[in-house]
Chain A
Amino acid sequence: MGAFILRRAAYALLLLFFASLLVFYGLRLAPGDIVSAIASPTTEKVVRINLTKELGLNRPLPVQYFVFVGHLVTGHFGVSIANGEKIGTIITTAGVKTLALGISAAILTYGLAIPLGVVAAAKRNGLMDQSTRFLVVLAMGIPNFFLAVLLIQLFGVQLGWLPVAGPGGISHLILPAIALSVESIALNVRLMRSSILEELSSDYIRTLRAKGLESRRILWIHAFRNALPPVVALAGVVLPTLLGYTLVVETIFRFEGLGYQLVQSIIKRDYALAQTLALMFTALVILFNFLADVAHHMIDPRVREQGMAS
């Protein structure tokens, strides 16, 4: 187990290194620059040149890269060029909002998807199953940005039940969390349902039935436990996807989390902030995958044995 974790951790660090290169040079390759973003058309050329020097953007790119990496390693991320605020402060402030949104979306995803998937499988081809399958197809077909607009119109503008934009209390979280999680709920319902169906048709379930075990116990204890590993494995994909969708959902709901900040910093070519946030998103995706791999390894004996054999 220890060797597995070490191997995975080394792999994650290597990925992070390549990601840092991509993020840094990718931003520099984008047309335009921070000086063009912060200077007016009426700004004289000499002022633009001075600004470039003051911001350290006249130095060779490899030097700028090592300054960036140095900041990351020492934990001093520097300041945003656009607003002079410490990047650490921005990450903390926006991170709390994104974390709240992400946790809400994850709770919605797994809190709804797992029971719905299990019940749909247990009542196969019944009304509940048919309705769930219909909703799953619908949810997977609606792009989240479009769903966000529909939710705003219905629950915000028409019914006036929920706020349509901006950060705030729990009420401000509801619509963004729904928009963020609907697709992953659908994916997980579908996976959970098929996984349970597969388990329910297994020999060991028939044996348990023959032994006269209560069907509810068979479903929720035996079949459920064995149907869970694919859902856990998918979490390594679903959670980073949720993170990626925050860029869109936070922008639509003017919910000023990390995704929103990343979009704004890229538009402004606020290099220091954009590259730190982009790399942080990458690191989180790698971390989620790493944790999912470890969890999958822990709960599924088949994977564990396969790993040991290899």
Chain B
Amino acid sequence: MHRDETFDKTAVDEYLAGQLDRRAFFQRASALGLSMSAAATLLAACASGNSGGHSSSAPVVTATSTSVNPADIKKGGQLVEGYDRDFSKIDPVLTPWDDPSFVAIYEYTVVRDKNGQIVPSLFSSWDVSSDLLTWTFQLRPNLKFQSGAPCDAAAVAANFNIFRNPNLGENAIFWPTVKNVTSVGPTTVVVTMKTPFAAFTETLATENSMILNLATRKKLGNNYGATGTDGTGAFQFESYQPGTAVTVKRWDEYPGSGIPYIQNKGPAYLDSVQWVPIVQTGSRADEIETGTVNVVKNPAPQDVTRLMANSGLVTTEFPALANWWISPNCARADLGFNDVRVRQAMSHAINREALVQSLYFGHAIATYGPLAPNVVWYNKAVEQYNQFDPDKSKSLLDAAGWKVGAGGVRTKNGKQLSFTHYCDSGQPTTSPQLDEAIAPMLADVGINMTVKVVDDATFNKLVYGGGNGPASWSYEWLWASPVDLLVYFHVVPSDAANGSIPAVKQACAAWQSAGTRAQMAAAADALQLAWAQSLPKIPILTTYNIWVSQKKVMGYTPLQTMLYPQYNDVWLNA
């Protein structure tokens, strides 16, 4: 393989230092006959050990909120936010993913603060019994839904019962230990557990556990979340047009948020918020620079340095509550994926730092275990595993009986280590390019991975539509309670596809029965170590969440511990 080290070391460094603009960067790549993914692949070979840019374990935050004098706050106006993917139904019970409009329309019962600590929202306080099996939550009094219906303890208990019902929605897998939910009086909700479940509030602090008026949902049927919604949040539904825009307007009767860190204790300042999907990564910077939108999420990584240098914009970035992984299907014994040595060999063949630098221009972070380093439960010990080491990779494959055959592809018992890998083009970040950059790295050790890019519907049907799924696929999860998601993903699409690994299963069970925060931490540590060693799925990197807003947008404060910022404090300093 031809590799141009000069291009790697100068062009990327100069770009990151702001000495080279985007056009010049690609001109130089193009002069060498490189596509972006090809450039990434070439860079991968010589960027080993280069951990410059933002690729440190410390999260990066370039902007934070500041206190303002209430008299200076200007009310009114519409905030237009460019979102990095298309919209799903605004329905916490059944939706493929959660969008920022959830945070405007609905409220959490409890929520995380910037340090990851659980703090009140609709619930003002809570207690756990001495046997750790009974949780008693106190709801703030006199709450209402936007339709005027009361949001009392009975309504919240009914929500919880829907969430835990496997026949009705998509949340039941996160509520396995909940035995019973009842309301006592207008403001008390009692949840009884089968086993201790200290992680319960982690589950509650996600968008899929936000409270809605179930009577409105029943009335609208399948159209709930598309033609109307009914929550307790600061904004009401106005319109929902997938592919076009979602718009919400201020709810004037909003009683104010119960979240301690929200400064505005009354109705929202903005008249309305509109989200527009900008699915083409390269267009996001154009739209914020030209003022088409007031805020944009996740511009193309190569544009971020330029946007940061723009004095009219504020850029905030930190690792997302996400991880991007590739999943060799452990049920495919013919490809050796049931053998941990083959999975480890794949992992050691991947130069994560090179991917971070070349594809994400430093706006991502390599992961060696299943969680990103900024997650409160992160276990740094995972970093001893999965480091880039092609020689070790080759040794592991040799030991597993896969010998180099014709064309450099390894074979065993006449079967080539050659497979099709599926990639979802609907992912908001540059996942197809990532897969295409990984393929040559695997080829270097004799693994032939052919990347096939498909759309969301095809991907979901292939991977999650039943059975064990295809030979290999990549996926980037995004979830506010990451350990809960690992517990789920270790059996999806099937236990066999994930290798049915006892240590992982044991750690998952420990997380779901942990009675204290210390036990949760121990379970999370064990789970990450077991995952990093046995690799039911191979972690690659965590992309950064990058938010760019115009300077006139005030009070817009994304937190590392939540998926989306709250809109209660946002105002436009026109």
Say if A and B assemble together.
yes
Q: Is the CB of A156 within 8 A of B290?
A: yes
Question: In the assembled complex, which residues on chain A have CB atoms less than 8 Å from the CB atom of B280?
Answer: 251-252
Q: Is the CB of A160 within 8 A of B290?
A: yes
Q: Is B56 an interface residue (CB 8 A)?
A: no
Question: In the assembled complex, which residues on chain B have CB atoms less than 8 Å from the CB atom of A40?
Answer: 94-97, 170
- Given the known A-B contacts A83-B240, A83-B241, A267-B457, are A164 and B292 also in contact in the complex, defined by CB atoms under 8 Å? yes
- Given the known A-B contacts A160-B290, A164-B283, are A261 and B243 also in contact in the complex, defined by CB atoms under 8 Å? yes
27 A-B contacts (beta carbon < 8 Å) = A30-B458, A31-B457, A32-B454, A32-B460, A32-B462, A38-B95, A38-B96, A39-B96, A40-B170, A41-B492, A42-B173, A42-B174, A43-B464, A47-B94, A47-B170, A83-B226, A83-B242, A84-B220, A84-B222, A85-B226, A152-B283, A153-B286, A156-B286, A251-B280, A254-B276, A268-B86, A268-B456
Q: Is the CB of A39 within 8 A of B170?
A: yes
Q: Is the CB of B464 within 8 A of A36?
A: yes
> Which residues in window 193-243 of B have CB below 8 A to A?
220, 222-223, 226-227, 240-243
Q: Is the CB of B278 within 8 A of A165?
A: yes
- The one of A34, A37, A85, A157 that contacts B286, using a Cβ cutoff of 8 Å: A157
Q: Is the CB of A164 within 8 A of B287?
A: yes
Question: In the assembled complex, which residues on chain B have CB atoms less than 8 Å from the CB atom of A79?
Answer: 223
**Supplied contacts A38-B95, A46-B166, A267-B455, 7 more A-B pairs, CB within 8 Å:** A39-B170, A41-B463, A41-B492, A83-B241, A84-B226, A157-B289, A260-B244
Q: A47 to B223, alpha carbons, bound, how many Å? A: 16
Residues of chain B at the chain A interface (Cβ within 8 Å): 86, 88-89, 94-97, 166-174, 220, 222-223, 226-227, 240-244, 276, 278, 280, 282-283, 286-287, 289-290, 292, 426, 454-466, 488, 492
Q: Count A/B pairs, Cβ under 8 Å.
A: 143
Q: A50 to B286, alpha carbons, bound, how many Å? A: 43
Q: Is the CB of A264 within 8 A of B243?
A: yes
- The one of A41, A44, A163, A251 that contacts B290, using a Cβ cutoff of 8 Å: A163
- The one of A54, A84, A160 that contacts B227, using a Cβ cutoff of 8 Å: A84
> Which residues in window 253-308 of A have CB below 8 A to B?
254, 256, 260-261, 263-264, 267-269
- The one of A36, A47, A263, A268 that contacts B461, using a Cβ cutoff of 8 Å: A36
Q: Is the CB of A152 within 8 A of B286?
A: yes
> Which residues in window 130-187 of A have CB below 8 A to B?
149, 152-153, 156-157, 160, 163-166
Question: In the assembled complex, which residues on chain B have CB atoms less than 8 Å from the CB atom of A165?
Answer: 278, 283, 286-287, 292
- Given the known A-B contacts A36-B460, A44-B166, are A54 and B94 also in contact in the complex, defined by CB atoms under 8 Å? no
Question: In the assembled complex, which residues on chain B have CB atoms less than 8 Å from the CB atom of A50?
Answer: 167
Q: Is the CB of A166 within 8 A of B292?
A: yes
- The one of B94, B244, B278, B283 that contacts A43, using a Cβ cutoff of 8 Å: B94
Question: In the assembled complex, which residues on chain A have CB atoms less than 8 Å from the CB atom of B282?
Answer: 149
Q: Is the CB of B88 within 8 A of A38?
A: yes
- The one of B172, B456, B458 that contacts A44, using a Cβ cutoff of 8 Å: B172
- The one of A46, A149, A254 that contacts B278, using a Cβ cutoff of 8 Å: A254
Question: In the assembled complex, which residues on chain A have CB atoms less than 8 Å from the CB atom of B223?
Answer: 79, 84
Q: Which 10 A-B pairs have the closest CB atoms?
A: A32-B457, A264-B243, A84-B223, A32-B458, A84-B226, A36-B460, A36-B461, A37-B457, A43-B170, A31-B458
Q: A260 to B458, alpha carbons, bound, how many Å? A: 20
Q: A254 to B276, alpha carbons, bound, how many Å? A: 9
Q: Is the CB of A163 within 8 A of B292?
A: yes
Question: In the assembled complex, which residues on chain A have CB atoms less than 8 Å from the CB atom of B244?
Answer: 256, 260
Question: In the assembled complex, which residues on chain A have CB atoms less than 8 Å from the CB atom of B426?
Answer: 267
CB distance from B81 to the nearest CB of A (A): 13
Q: A165 to B283, alpha carbons, bound, how many Å? A: 9
Q: Is A82 an interface residue (CB 8 A)?
A: yes
Q: Is A45 an interface residue (CB 8 A)?
A: yes
Question: In the assembled complex, which residues on chain B have CB atoms less than 8 Å from the CB atom of A44?
Answer: 166-167, 170, 172-173
Q: Is the CB of A41 within 8 A of B94?
A: no
Q: Is A199 an interface residue (CB 8 A)?
A: no
- Given the known A-B contacts A43-B170, A269-B457, are A36 and B465 also in contact in the complex, defined by CB atoms under 8 Å? yes
A168, closest chain B residue (CB): B292
CB distance from B121 to the nearest CB of A (A): 23
Q: Is the CB of A256 within 8 A of B243?
A: yes
CB distance from A276 to the nearest CB of B (A): 15
Question: In the assembled complex, which residues on chain A have CB atoms less than 8 Å from the CB atom of B222?
Answer: 54-55, 84
Question: In the assembled complex, which residues on chain A have CB atoms less than 8 Å from the CB atom of B169?
Answer: 43, 47
CB distance from B486 to the nearest CB of A (A): 13
